[in-house]
Amino acid sequence: MKKQVLRFASAAATALALAPTAVAISGKNPVSAATNTTKTIGNATVTTTATSTKYVASPVSVYASNGSRIVRTLLKGTKLAIKGTALIGGKSFFYLGTNSTTDEDEFVLNTNLSDTPVSPDVVATGIVKVTATDGAQIVNKNGVANGQQLNSGSSWKIFGSATIGGHQYFNVGGDQYVYAGSVIVTSGSPDTSNDPVQTINGTGAGLLKAEPNNSTSATTSGSTASSTTKDSSTAATTTSTTVGPTITPASGKIQIGNAATVVFDQNGDSTNKVLNAGSSWKYFGTAVIGGLTYYNVGGNQFVRQSAATVDGPTALSGQVTVSATRAYVFKSDGATPVLKSNGTIKALGAGSTWKVFAELQLGNRILYDLGGGQYVDASDVAYKSPAEVSAEANTTAKSGIATINYVPGYGIQVWHADSTMVLNSDGSAKKLMNGTQWKIFNQRIVDGHTYYGLGGDQWIDSSYVSFHALN
């Protein structure tokens, strides 16, 4: 199978502190321990003091100088260097100084902090967001579904990764995993040990929700999620760049959903352009901006993946034969695995052959529709057109040497089984010159006429050759 490439947020864009280590923050204007200084930073009135130490007793939000915009979240056990106190809009904060990475002054409320060290919880290695439109099923370490599903658009902490059925899965707590193709990593990264943490806060069960994004109703079926929130609206700001995001080339058309959508620029900021509901547009690649996936619709114009779908499959006949060790079966999003009645992931065995009804392009991937909403990746199978299938059915073994018997100085055309011409590497028609000899491997009969096979999908008309059988 093709391996998913996970694009991870940069350190500057990380909205969640992934490890409860000391927060290294330096002030712009260091002051003596014996001197208190009052100054204004944005909306904050700051009084600097001698540096003191606090510990996070339960997850706390870090605020910008306006006192409302959350820039990141600190986990339980994090050690803080307190540089002063502040008043913002009548509320009391501790001043952490200036973050040396973002060059932004940071503040925390004077709650949920301890003067003595606090033992950390089990530490998440990252955050994932569910991108599959049908949501992400939760399975155990054997790939068996447990009946729970994470809603599309919701975000969750991950505690490691594992390979299940040949695919990468992320651990979301205890013996609970989600398929990597159903989510994107928006913060941090999965570990690569394949030995994920098996407990959450010592309970060994439950899911830790990372952020509500813009949908507070996103929950799991049959589970209770403990929530640690942040302001997801800051993601695009903290990762903005003047050179634009990396675009993964792709081609095709997208169709806007049931609601019109705005067009965004390379920083994830909305423009004054709107695409009408139901309208179709060419797209030229995909990009991750602020942890969200976008379609590039030309130049500095992007549409959120959640607002559009790639146009449906194109009718296609023929058959595929599994060329890989196995071919896993997916739903039409190319990410959600199809499960068998016993809850395990459905896979097709090597060498098995299946009828094809349509072809679906998702970015730079091609999927074949096997019917009933079941798709396989083109990289796992070998496709044959109806003409090739028919030719194969009418092909018999025939071993010998064919001598081209045509007009001196001229050659005969080599054909594919579907009656299209075989071409040379320079695009010219491939011909076999009069008088040359070629080994024959088989023959087929089409409409009562015999063609000789040269190997592979290459055929010549028997009318223009002299055949000599080999014993």
Give the DSSP letter string of 353-364.
EEEEEEEEEETT
Judged on CB neighbours under 10 Å (0-12, 13-18, 19+), 442 is middle
Would you state the CATH architecture of domain 314-384? Roll (2.30)
Q: What is the dihedral of CA 319, 324, 327, 332, to 10 degrees?
A: -70
CB neighbourhood size of 32 (10 A):
9
17-114 and 314-384 agree in CATH topology: yes
Question: DSSP character for 387?
Answer: H
- Residues in the chain, pLDDT under 50: 1-34, 191-242
Report whether 294 contacts 303 (CB < 8 A): yes
Output phi, psi for 235, to 5 deg: -60, -45
Report whether 304 contacts 142 (CB < 8 A): no
Domain coordinates of the chain in residue numbers? 17-114, 126-232, 240-310, 314-384, 396-469
Would you state the CATH architecture of domain 396-469? Roll (2.30)
3-state SS of 233-298 is HHHHHHCCCCCCCCEEEEEEEEEECCCCEEEECCCCCEEEEEECCCCEEEEEEEEEECCEEEEECC
User: Over the range 320-354, which residues count as b (16 or more CB within 10 Å of their CB) and which as e?
Assistant: bebebebbbbbbbbbbbbbbeeeebbebbeeeeeb
Output the pTM of the full model.
0.32
Q: What is the pLDDT of residue 102?
A: 67
CATH of span 240-310: 2.30.30
Question: DSSP character for 26?
Answer: B
Nearest Cα residue to 48 out of 89, 88, 97: 97
pLDDT tens across 310-362, in order? 766 777 788 999 999 989 998 877 878 888 887 788 899 888 889 888 888 77
Q: Report domain 17-114's class.
A: mainly beta
Output phi, psi for 462, to 5 deg: -65, -15
Q: What is the pLDDT of residue 402?
A: 94
Nearest Cα residue to 130 out of 181, 95, 89: 181
Q: What is the pLDDT of residue 28?
A: 40
Nearest Cα residue to 109 out of 100, 121, 96: 96
Q: What is the pLDDT of residue 85?
A: 94
Tokens representing residue 134 in the block: 């049908």
